[in-house]
């Protein structure tokens, strides 16, 4: 008789633990997103820099032998950050030059990354990451960007965000230096209780 595989465990990562596991985390990111392996080098420096921003926090799922299966992190967004400035530009373009994003860009937590290794997808790990990360966000709303799904059916990430009540802030947004269209989604915090999101 063989033992059942160990159940994944959800853990918070300190800044030093995040740095120690950065190679694994970026491998999950590259694999989940289908990016070329060369993406990892560029992301390493960026992710480390992000870990020093105000309000930064990270959570992860660990599997057998403490293998990292999924990771998420974010921080408090604000003026002077690249993502904030890019989204404000998009909102101004959408609403006219006098708009600045209003409430969306005030007092928000930026959900920067959330990735589950393809071998571990479909078991609720993404929702677990999202809930754990946002439970300590200490902001009144959360914003994120995710690639548009185009004519394809929405994938797991999109279905998760919609189920948890994320609405459109910007659609078909082009970030500087990236030709792919993105959606910027947001919602007020806290998230609804888990049983309230099941239909």
Alpha-carbon span 132 to 13, nearest angstrom: 11
Q: Is residue 161 among the annotated active site residues?
A: yes
CA distances from 48 to 37, 101, 127, 147, 184 (A): 18, 28, 24, 23, 23
Catalytically annotated residue among 29, 73, 108, 161: 161
Residues designated catalytic: 161
């Amino acid at each position: 008789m063989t033992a059942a595989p160990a159940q994944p465990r959800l853990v918070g990562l300190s800044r030093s633990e995040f740095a120690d596991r950065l190679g694994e985390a970026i491998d999950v990111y590259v694999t989940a997103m289908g990016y070329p392996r060369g993406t990892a080098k560029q992301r390493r420096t960026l992710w480390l820099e992000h870990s020093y921003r105000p309000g930064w926090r990270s959570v992860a799922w660990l599997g057998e032998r403490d293998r990292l299966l999924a990771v998420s992190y974010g921080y408090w967004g604000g003026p002077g950050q690249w993502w904030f400035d890019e989204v404000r530009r998009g909102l101004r373009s959408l609403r006219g030059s006098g708009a600045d994003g209003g409430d969306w860009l005030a007092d928000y937590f930026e959900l920067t990354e959330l990735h589950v290794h393809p071998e571990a997808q479909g078991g609720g790990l993404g929702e677990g990451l999202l809930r754990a990360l946002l439970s300590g966000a200490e902001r009144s709303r959360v914003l994120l960007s995710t690639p548009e799904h185009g004519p394809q059916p929405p994938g797991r990430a999109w279905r998760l965000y919609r189920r948890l009540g994320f609405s459109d802030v910007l659609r078909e947004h082009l970030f500087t230096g990236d030709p792919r269209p993105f959606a910027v989604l947001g919602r007020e915090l806290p998230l609804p209780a888990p049983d309230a999101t099941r239909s």
